[in-house]
Amino acid sequence: MVGSCAALALAQRGMRVALIEAAPPRAPVSAEDEPYDLRVSAISPHSRQILQQLGIWQRLDAARICYYEQMHIWHQHGSASVSFDAVDLVRDNLGAIVENRLIQQTLHRACDANTAIEWFRPDRIETLLENSARGVELRLDSGRCIEAGLLIAADGKQSPTRTLAGIEIQSGGYRQTAIVANVDTSLAHRHTAWQRFLSTGPLAFLPLANGQSSIVWSCDDEMAERLSPLDEKAFCEALGVAFEQRLGEVVSCGERRSFPLGWHSCAHWLQGRVLLMGDAAHSVHPLAGQGVNLGFSDVELCAQLIGACRDTIPQQPLRRYERQRKSETWLAANSFSALKWVYGLEQGGVVQLRNLGMQLLDATPWLKRTMVGKALQNIT
């Protein structure tokens, strides 16, 4: 999503772009009742604005977008909770839950139609032949060679391009596993995003447009090993207990997938003329499906800083991009990690203090407006 978004943003500003994609095109969503993909994102209002300016949001299938108007957060230990309502915050909604593939396919169609973008798909970068002040030269698996003034690496957490450029990362694990699935519940989700913090990790129920909920159950690895082999009925029962049946009984669960949770960051986002973007540069805990918003803001700033360049791209705006986005994503990543850590503590004094803080926040409208307004603008 981030790579094709960057290609389109720069092409619309007059640049010629080569878009290298390893995966062949996926079959498009063909019907409203087609099962929803397991990978979804909570798109913030700011990210929605970025996609609207590119002409993408308007092209998405509106029937598969679920705008959520409320958010409810509570903890396993203690009685305090926090609720956010778009009406109280003078907003139409707090965000939208959209399938990743829907955004990606719409971006790809827009790239197909833009004559300034040349696709190399399916293809990969085999060798980075040159990476100097004058630009980059690379050879693809297909044998084609490309020269460019800048190479943007937006090829995911494992980023082969980052490795080819010699950019080192710092990484670690949370010793947690995320289980994702789409589930049916006996009660409607009420266009609400639900988050319960358990001592073993956070559990999120995100509303889908077809009435289902997309769940992200982040739990300790040992617990994930116990949950994975359960049949559908047993898993639904365990999920309902963990969620306190806030949406009634968990009636059914589709395909389940799980993946280990970890983090990484890079001391340098710019190496010569290779620039990192999206998950290639940073990753955060999937507390609320917000990670891609950071990537879209990477695109926005990069396009603003270099979009007016034509023949050559000066090093100064690239360095400015690196400094600004590194600081902003560092703050977001550490905020998510700190939140996960604080809500995982079970000591009596911490529980009481946490309950007091949640009660204070829930009872102070101006504080909630300030907090959510900043989050919806900056967690992007």
Q: How far is CA 95 from CA 210, 224, 244, in A?
A: 17, 29, 24
pLDDT tens for each residue of 104-153:
999 999 999 999 999 999 999 999 999 998 899 999 999 999 999 999 99
Q: According to the model, what pLDDT value does residue 296 have? A: 97
Higher per-residue pLDDT: 378 or 26:
26
40 has pLDDT over 90? yes
Average pLDDT, the chain: 88
> Could you give the CA distance from residue 200 to residue 75 in angstroms, rounded to a whole number?
11
Q: According to the model, what pLDDT value does residue 365 have? A: 59
> Could you give the CA distance from residue 76 to residue 243 in angstroms, rounded to a whole number?
9
Percent of the chain exceeding pLDDT 90 equals 70
Structural domain 2-70+84-171+263-340, CATH architecture: 3-Layer(bba) Sandwich (3.50)
> Could you give the CA distance from residue 268 to residue 169 in angstroms, rounded to a whole number?
9
- Name the one residue in this structure whose structure tokens are 């903890």: 75
- Name the one residue in this structure whose structure tokens are 């829907």: 102
Q: According to the model, what pLDDT value does residue 376 have? A: 55
288 has pLDDT over 60? no
Kindly report whether the global pTM for this prediction surpasses the value 0.85: yes
Report the pLDDT averaged over residues 266-293.
87
Query: Which pLDDT band holds residue 161 (cuts at 50, 70, 90)?
Result: very high
Longest dimension (CA), the chain: 63
Q: According to the model, what pLDDT value does residue 48 have? A: 97
Higher per-residue pLDDT: 264 or 275:
275
Strands 213-220 and 169-185: antiparallel
**In 10 A of CB 79, how many CB atoms?**
9
**Beta carbons of 118 and 18 less than 8 angstroms apart:** yes
Report the pLDDT averaged over residues 356-374.
55
Which candidate, 378, 368, 370, places its Cα nearest to that of 72?
Answer: 368
pLDDT tens for each residue of 54-111:
999 999 999 999 999 999 998 887 666 788 899 887 889 999 999 999 999 999 999 9
361 has pLDDT over 60? no
351 has pLDDT over 50? yes
Q: According to the model, what pLDDT value does residue 80 have? A: 67
291 has pLDDT over 90? no
**CATH topology classification for 172-261+345-378:** D-Amino Acid Oxidase; Chain A, domain 2 (3.30.9)
Q: According to the model, what pLDDT value does residue 358 have? A: 52
Q: According to the model, what pLDDT value does residue 216 have? A: 95
Q: According to the model, what pLDDT value does residue 378 have? A: 46
311 has pLDDT over 80? no
Cα–chain center distance at 186 = 28
Q: According to the model, what pLDDT value does residue 380 have? A: 38
- The strand pairing partners of 96, in sequence order, are 43, 67
Task: Give every CB contact of residue 256 below 8 A, 6+ residues apart in sequence.
Answer: 179, 180, 181, 228, 235
Sequence ranges of the chain with CATH classification 3.30.9.10: 172-261+345-378
Sequence ranges of the chain with CATH classification 3.50.50.60: 2-70+84-171+263-340
Q: According to the model, what pLDDT value does residue 64 have? A: 96
Task: Give every CB contact of residue 265 below 8 A, 6+ residues apart in sequence.
Answer: 169, 170, 171, 281, 282, 283, 329, 330, 333
β strands within 186-314, DSSP E: 192-198, 201-207, 213-220, 250-253, 257-266, 270-271, 274-276, 282-283
Expressed in angstroms, the distance from the first to the final Cα of the chain is 14
